[in-house]
């Protein structure tokens, strides 16, 4: 009966084994949590209860990033992932009940029209659909044209500005994509929103759990930052507090395997293991740290991909320069379709990234860190 109902509804039913998988449940919870830049409360409410019992100390910076320290001696290692996702805020309500958006983060205009959204209002979530020019009305010359963001409005079903207000929403309220988690046809490829960087948040939590059990020779600062998507702001504030000797950002990477990509844009493939950035538009990694990561990955039997990506920024850029500077690197879980409503990650890539991060942090003892920070000719 259960299978027939699922087939009739054309829904992907969750098997008992998958339902009992705590890692999948964590990824689902983080992906579906609403948290655009500056409005990360729902994500912080997931992170803090899991981090607190694993930490020797937990505090916040002045922007709302979470800083959890594990260990009281040894090198100061900052492991960073950002909690915020792309989204928007309500800008203006029209007399006929439509709402315009101010976008938060690097959206493509073509990703905005004809999508489902959730507005976090004073009375709870309000569902919305972004407007799109109807094909029956658009002249031929407009049908292949880009719909610019200032032509896109949110439809909440209201007919007047008063009806919008009655829903409990107003200018300044946050907006997030409406996109649920799904294991794509049981393949272990997980579809969902906000993998940039909720997948990094999940790596942070599982690495913290494992290192609490295994031990390590460091002071590790597990930092879940805010406002990365609008200028790496949380990482700047947190780095000023932590003063890391080594900085490691954990991010959602960019794959080049989804069709139509130029081979020079990205060489990373889904399912081929974690990645390390050799270049992005915001930072250059420390070369000796990259060499160490290659060795740790090889010793642990973890396949490692490398990439150089234009038009990409990450928190390692702030850890790299704040407080006199530190060797940094950006490690990624490859993700297809970042900065849109629904992206895709691979579960095995995620698990291997956790393995790599744990092995690396256990390798970074005082002598190794001193060698990485030695620039003597």
Angstrom distance (rounded) from CA 34 to CA 119: 9
Largest CA distance in the chain: 72
Looking from the CA of 235 toward its CB, the CA atoms found within 13 Å total: 28
Beta-bridge mates of residue 153: 100
CA 43 to each of CA 76, 81, 84: distance values in angstroms, whole numbers, following the listed order: 25, 12, 8
Question: Please, are residues 31 and 193 in contact by the beta-carbon 8 Å criterion?
Answer: yes
Q: Which of 96, 79, 34 is nearest to 200 (CA)?
A: 79
Sheet with 182-183: strands ordered across: 182-183, 189-192, 343-346, 335-336
- DSSP calls for 252-300: E---S-SSS--TTT----TTS--EEEEEESS----HHHHHHHHHHHHHH
Task: Please pick, among 228, 229, 251, 318, the residue that the annotation labels catalytic.
Answer: 228
Question: Please, are residues 116 and 103 in contact by the beta-carbon 8 Å criterion?
Answer: no
Cα dihedral across residues 347, 352, 353, 358: positive or negative: positive
If 0-12 CB within 10 Å is exposed, 13-18 middle and 19+ buried, where does residue 308 land? Answer: middle
CA 189 to each of CA 96, 165, 192, 216: distance values in angstroms, whole numbers, following the listed order: 42, 40, 10, 32
Question: Is residue 228 among the annotated active site residues?
Answer: yes
If 0-12 CB within 10 Å is exposed, 13-18 middle and 19+ buried, where does residue 1 land? Answer: exposed
- Per the document, the length of the chain is 377
Please list the active-site residues. Answer: 228
């Amino acid at each position: 009966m259960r299978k027939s109902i699922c087939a009739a509804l054309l829904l992907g039913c969750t098997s008992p084994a998958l339902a009992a998988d705590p890692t999948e449940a964590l990824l689902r919870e983080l992906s579906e949590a609403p948290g655009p830049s500056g409005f990360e409360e729902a994500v912080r409410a997931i992170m803090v209860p899991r981090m607190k019992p694993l930490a020797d100390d937990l505090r916040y910076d002045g922007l709302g990033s979470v800083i959890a320290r594990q260990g009281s001696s040894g090198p100061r290692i900052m492991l960073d992932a950002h909690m915020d996702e792309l989204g928007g805020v309500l800008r203006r309500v029209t007399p006929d009940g439509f709402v315009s958006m101010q976008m938060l983060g690097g959206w493509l205009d073509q990703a905005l029209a004809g999508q489902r959204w959730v507005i976090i209002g004073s009375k709870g979530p309000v569902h919305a659909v972004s407007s799109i020019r109807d094909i029956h009305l658009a002249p031929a010359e407009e049908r292949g044209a880009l719909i610019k963001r200032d032509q896109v409005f949110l439809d909440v079903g209201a007919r007047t500005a008063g009806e919008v207000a009655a829903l409990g929403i107003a200018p300044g309220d946050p907006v997030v994509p409406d996109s649920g988690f799904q294991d794509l046809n049981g393949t272990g490829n997980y579809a969902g929103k906000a993998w940039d960087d909720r997948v990094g948040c999940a790596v942070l939590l599982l690495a913290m759990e494992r290192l609490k059990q295994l031990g390590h020779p460091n002071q590790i600062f597990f930092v879940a930052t805010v406002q990365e998507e609008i200028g790496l702001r949380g990482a700047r504030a947190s780095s000023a507090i932590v003063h890391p000797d080594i900085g490691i950002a954990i991010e959602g990477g960019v794959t080049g395997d989804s069709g139509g990509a130029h081979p020079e844009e990205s060489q990373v493939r889904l399912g081929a293991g974690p990645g390390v950035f050799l270049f992005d538009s915001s930072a250059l990694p420390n070369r000796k740290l990259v060499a160490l990561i290659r060795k740790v990955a090889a010793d642990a039997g973890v396949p490692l991909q490398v990439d150089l990506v234009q038009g990409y920024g990450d928190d390692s850029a702030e850890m790299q320069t704040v407080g006199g500077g530190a060797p940094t690197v950006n490690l990624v879980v490859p993700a297809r379709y970042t900065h849109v409503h629904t992206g895709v990650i691979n579960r095995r890539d995620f698990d291997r990234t956790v393995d790599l991060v744990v092995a690396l942090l256990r390798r970074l003892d005082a002598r190794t860190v001193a060698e990485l920070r030695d620039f003597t000719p």
